[in-house]
Structure 1
Amino acid sequence: MQLIDIGLNLTHDSFDRDRDAVWQRARDAGVTRAILTGASREHSPKAMALALTRPGEWFATAGVHPHHAVEYTEECDAEMRALHAHAEVVAVGECGLDYFRDFSPRPAQRRAFERQLQVAADTGKPLFLHQRDAHADFVAMMKNFDGRLGPAVVHCFTGTREELFDYLDQDWHIGITGWLCDERRGEHLRELVKHIPAHRLMVETDAPYLLPRTLRPMPKDRRNEPAFLPHIVEELARDRGEDVAATAAGSTATAAAFFRLPA
C-alpha cells in the first residue's frame, strides 16, 4: 500500500534526534507522502522548510491552532500569507476552535479563525480544521463563508454522530487518527466510520501524539510515528467492513485530490 499521512507534526522537538530515521521507517511501512502540520507562528515556517527538503514527499500546512490564537496579529496574518505564496504549502491551518482546553480566550479563537478563513477564501487553498467542544460556533463561522471556500477537512475527527453528519452534509472531508483505537474515548468511532464516503475519508497519525492504544508492540517512548499509519488503516478497514487495500487506496486517492498533490 501507498499511504498519505495528512496530519504529521514533524516539526515537534521529539523528532529532532532522528527525523530522517522516522521517515525511513514510514517509507518502509508504505507511507510515501505526508502533510506536515503547521500550527503556530513558530512551527508553520518550520513545516514549510522541512517540506522543501523532500520535494514530492513532504508538503506543509500553514496556520495558527486555536491554542495559539492570541498570536494572530496583523504581523502574523502577513507571515501566514507569505507562506501561502509557496506551492509546498498546500492548506490553510491547522485552524479552528477548541473550547475543551480554552488555552486562548474564546473571542481570540474566533478572531484568529475568521482571519484564517479569509486567507483560505483569498488563496483558494483547502482548509485543515480543528474543532473540539465548539461545534455550533465552528459550523456557524464556516457558514459565514459559504460559497467562498475550497475543500475542507475536519482533522482528527473525534466527535458525535450529529457532528459527523453535519460535516458530511457540508461536503467536508474527515480525517481519522489512532483515536479510533482508544477503547476509553474512541469506541463510538468504530460505528461512525462506516458512514463516511470513501471520497470524503482521509487518514493521519497526528504524530507524535495519539499513539494507537492497540499497537503491538508498543514503543517504549510512547511516541507516535507515521510508520504506524498502516495499523490505523487496518483497524479502520475492519470497522468499515472493507478490504485493507481498498481503504488504503481510497484514502490515498482522496488525499492526493484534496491537497492537489502532483502525480
Structure 2
Amino acid sequence: MRRAYALIVVLLLVLTSSVLTATMLDRLGAQSLAYGRTVDQYQHHHGKASLEEVVGAWLRSLGNLNIADMLVDDGHVFSLTLADRSTARVYLADGQGSVLSRFVGLSAENRRDAPQIYRALENLVGPENAPRFSREIGPMAVGVRGATREAIAAALSGVIPAPSFDPLAVADAILAEAADGSISSGDITRTARDRGVPQEQLALVNRVLSANTTVWRLRVELYSPSTPVSAPRLTNAYEGYAMSGRVAGTGTTRYQIVQFRAVEDAPGR
C-alpha cells in the first residue's frame, strides 16, 4: 500500500514538473519572439533612417540641377551597395500630377479652391476612386508633366464653374503638348485658349496647373545579395516624397525629403 502511495506521489511530482517545464518553455518562447520582434523593429528603424539620410544627402548635392532632366523611363536614379552586400535601388518620379487632398499650409485663396478641386475630382471619378488621383503633400497646382487627364480636368472644372468647354478635352490637349517634356506656362495657356477656355479665365488656369514640378515621389527598394545559385530578390521597400524650392536670397534650389516610410506590404515587412 505504501509503495502504491509512493508511486502516485512520484507520478504527481513528475507531472507537476512537466507542467512547470512546459510553462517555462512557453514563456521563454514568447520572450524570444518578443525580443526578435524588438530587434527587427530596431533594425528596420535604423535601416530606414540610414537610407533616408543617404538619399537626402544625394538630393541636397543636386543644387540647381533639375531632377526631370535626370530621369529615365523607370525613374531609377542610382543604386547603393550596403555593408551586407545587399543593394538599395532609388527611384524618383513626378509626384505633382495629382490633386491635393490635404489642405494644410495653403494661402487663403488656395484653401478656398483646393477643396473645390478635390470635389470636382470626386464627381469625375467617384469618391471611392479619388484617392488614386490625389496626394497629401505639395502645392495646390497640378503639375502637368506627370499628370493624369482626370487630375487636369478636375483642376479646371473645380475653379471654373459650369465651364463652357470640355475639361477632359482640354486635359488631353495639354497632355499631348507636354508629351515631349518641354511644356511651359505659355503653352498651357495657349492650349487652354485654343480648346475653348475664355480669355478672362486663363489666369485661373495658370493658378491650378503648373509646368514646373516641385514634388517628387520617392521609392527605395532593397534587394538581397546575388549568389551563384540565386538572383537578387526584393526584401523591403520604402516610399515617400521629396520637394524642391528656391532658397530665399540665393537663387539656388534645395531638395529635401518630406515623407519617408516603409511599404507595409513589402516582402520584408
Give the TM-score normalised by the residue count of structure 2.
Answer: 0.24
Give the TM-score normalised by the residue count of structure 1.
Answer: 0.24
